[in-house]
Amino acid sequence: MNKFVSVILGGTLALSLVACGGNATSSSSTESASPATSTAESSSTAETQYEEGKYELLFNMPCPDTEPYFRAYSAWAENVNKRTHGEVKIELYTSSQLGVEEDIIEQIRAGANVGQSTDTARLANYVPEIGVLNCPYFLEDADEINKFIQTDMAKGWVDQLATDFGIRPLAMNFVYGKRHFMTNDKVIKTPADLNGMLMRTPGAPVWVESISALGATPTALARSEIYSAVQTKVIDGLDELYISYYSEQLYEVLNTVNETGDILLVNIPVVSSQWFNSLPEEYQAIVEEEAVAAGKMASDEIANVEEPRIREELKAKGITIVPPEEIDIEAFKAAGDKAYEALGLVEVRAEAYKQLGKTE
């Protein structure tokens, strides 16, 4: 959906107040003021007239309105609107109502006033190196993510996306959690157990190579097709987050969660560089500050509240959960190296770890 917002210049209304004061004389009972003994002071105040919705943004996200991401993005939109006196208005569209991510990102590049919650695998279509964040077992948790995004490497990716491709990332700290293989009556303990299994994946090369490296056969499908594809045996399962598996009721058709924790998913809200640069600098800072705050809010809720709750509810429903202690995680990590090789990201990972102070 292309919807552009007309930008109307606001004005200011000057109000002048004049205050008069004088000195009294005591030569007679009559008080008089003369120009010599009085001062006339004038002051003016400018009252800024704010224009509601002057800078409008239509923001698309894949999650439904029941997930922490929606609550976090709602807080972002509300706080930005409040701090900009209503001039920046962000409208949220859940469950990809505006369209698929790839199409929205192209609209962003064209300068449309739309935004998208996306992942680094899709952004790697423009800056391949950023795809390392979406590769198997790259980083362990939100703490490592928050340290890494302060490195020169991560900041360079943001600048390159904004300058060369017109895509302006607002925050890189939306940690959605670790992905696991969800199957039906199939326990996965080693990469060999995935041999021949058709696993749903998004179509971006980073996703495809990562799932392939871990031992499965990647099958690209739209999210809306997953449930029926499992029912009709088009796919045998998928690599997914607990929160999405639960909210989309995939436990009804996939009864086993194998906690491989293979990919720590980081989402990034992006907007058009053209739209972002049209904002006053003060508003640019507000939009970014509130996006970072929303990222922390979502990440904390998912890790500390939602995932533990969902895990217990799934166990109560009879879902089989294979914990990491029963899985050969080291074998999966070794298998995941093939994704870095196939994508040409071996040296990128090495440099990232160097800047992070992390050993491979």
Domain boundaries, the chain: 177-265+304-356
Please report the pLDDT score of residue 10 as a whole number. Answer: 38
pLDDT(30) > 70: no
Percent of the chain whose pLDDT exceeds 70: 87
Please report the pLDDT score of residue 22 as a whole number. Answer: 37
Q: What is the mean pLDDT of the chain?
A: 88
pLDDT(165) > 50: yes
Which tokens belong to 287?
Answer: 């939009």
Strand partners, 257: 182, 321
Q: How confident is the model at residue 223 (pLDDT cuts 50, 70, 90)?
A: confident
Residue 304, SS3 per DSSP: helix
pLDDT(182) > 90: yes
Alpha-helix runs per DSSP H in 111-255: 120-123, 142-148, 152-165, 205-213, 226-231, 242-247
Q: What would the mean pLDDT of 341-352 be, rounded to a whole number? A: 98
The Cα 328–Cα 298 span in angstroms is 30
Task: Give the number of other CB atoms < 10 A from CB of residue 8.
Answer: 8
Which tokens belong to 25?
Answer: 């004389």
First to last CA, the chain: 43
pLDDT(16) > 50: no
pLDDT(36) > 70: no
Q: Spell out the residues 6+ positions from residue 135 whose beta carbon is closer than 8 angstroms to its own.
A: 206, 210, 263, 336, 339, 340, 343, 345, 349
Max distance between CA atoms of the chain, in angstroms, equals 111
In order of 179, 236, 307, 308, 347, the CA distances from 253 in angstroms are 18, 10, 20, 21, 40
Strand partners, 271: 115, 168
Q: What would the mean pLDDT of 29-50 be, rounded to a whole number? A: 44
pLDDT(32) > 80: no
Please report the pLDDT score of residue 74 as a whole number. Answer: 98
Least confident window among 31-35, 61-65, 209-213, 308-312 = 31-35
Please report the pLDDT score of residue 224 as a whole number. Answer: 87
Q: What would the mean pLDDT of 75-92 be, rounded to a whole number? A: 98
pLDDT(41) > 60: no
The Cα 57–Cα 67 span in angstroms is 21
Which tokens belong to 21?
Answer: 């004061």
Q: Exposure pattern of 263-290 as b/e (b: 16+ CB <10 Å)?
A: bbbbbbbbbbbebbebbeeebbebbbbb
Please report the pLDDT score of residue 95 as a whole number. Answer: 92
Please give the DSSP secondary-structure letter assigned to residue 246: H
Please report the pLDDT score of residue 45 as a whole number. Answer: 39
The Cα 2–Cα 109 span in angstroms is 12
- Distance, CA of 319 to chain centre: 30
Least confident window among 40-54, 107-121, 223-237, 340-354 = 40-54
pLDDT in tens, 229-265: 999 999 999 999 999 999 999 999 999 999 999 999 9
pLDDT(310) > 70: yes
Strand partners, 88: 55
Note every long-range contact of 142-148, with CB atoms under 8 Å and residues 24 or more positions apart, other chains counting: 142/173, 142/175, 142/299, 142/303, 144/356, 144/358, 145/172, 145/173, 145/175, 145/264, 145/266, 146/173, 147/356, 148/352, 148/355, 148/356
Q: How confident is the model at residue 222 (pLDDT cuts 50, 70, 90)?
A: confident
- Distance, CA of 360 to chain centre: 27
pLDDT(48) > 90: no
Q: What would the mean pLDDT of 52-63 be, rounded to a whole number? A: 96
Please report the pLDDT score of residue 250 as a whole number. Answer: 97
Higher pLDDT, 222 or 323: 323
The Cα 114–Cα 57 span in angstroms is 5
CATH code reported for the domain at 177-265+304-356? 3.40.190.170
Q: What would the mean pLDDT of 101-122 be, rounded to a whole number? A: 96
